[in-house]
Copies of this chain bind each other. A is one copy, B any other.
Amino acid sequence: MKRKRSLPLSRVYRLLEPGPVVLLTTARKGRANVMPMSWHTMIDFEPPLVGCVVSDRNFTFESLKATRECVINIPTVELAPAVVGCGNTSGRRVDKFERFGLTAEPASRVEAPLVAECYANLECKVVDTRMAARYDLFILEVVAAWIDPSRKRPETIHHRGGGLFMVAGREIKLPSGKP
C-alpha cells in the first residue's frame, strides 16, 4: 500500500454516504473476483456497518456467503470503463482483474484483495446474513480502511441507470450540525 494511509473507521461513512458505484472484491479457493455495486447504504457509524445488496444470480453471492469476507473498493471516473466491463462479464468465466487491467493487492484483515487502482478500500466481514435469503441483503462490518491522502476531491461515479453515470461535481459547505 504505497500511496495509501489507514483511515479512522469513524470516517468511513464519508466515503459511502454520497452513493458512489463501488467494486466489491471476494476471494474463494484461491480465486479472486470483482463486481460493481450501487445498492449499498451506511447502517451505523462506528464500528461502520454497511448494508449491501448482491443478487443471488451473481457469482459473488456464493463467495460472500461462504467466506463471509469482502472488500469495498471505491473507483473514480478514469476507471469507469473497467467498472462497466466488470459489470458486463461474470467471474464464473473470466479473470476480471486480468481482463480489465486491475491490480489485486493483499488486504490486512481479509482474504479478498484490494483493487490498487481505487482511491479507497474498505476491508469487510459479513456480520449478518439473515436478510440474504429474502432480500439478497448482507450486513458488513468495516474492519480496516485505506485511503489515498492525495485525492482531495475524488471524482466518484454514480449510476443513473442504463449505462448513464453522474460524475461527482462541485462541493458546497453548509452549517450542518450532523456528522
In the assembled complex, which residues on chain B have CB atoms less than 8 Å from the CB atom of A157?
172
> In the complex, what distance in Å separates the CA atom of A78 from the CA atom of B113?
41
Q: Point out the residue from B80, B136, B161, B164 that lies within 8 Å of A11, measured CB to CB.
A: B161
CB <8 Å contact, A174 and B18: no
Q: How many copies does the complex hold?
A: 2
In contact, A161 and B17 (Cβ under 8 angstroms): yes
The 10 closest A-B pairs by CB, nearest first: A19-B19, A169-B169, A163-B176, A18-B158, A14-B161, A41-B41, A84-B174, A88-B177, A167-B169, A17-B38
**B17 and A176: CB pair below 8 A?**
no
Q: Which of A73-93 contact B (CB under 8 A)?
A: 77, 80-81, 84, 87-88
Interface positions of A (Cβ within 8 A of B): 11, 13-14, 17-20, 38-44, 49, 51-53, 77, 80-81, 84, 87-88, 131, 135-137, 139, 155, 157-179
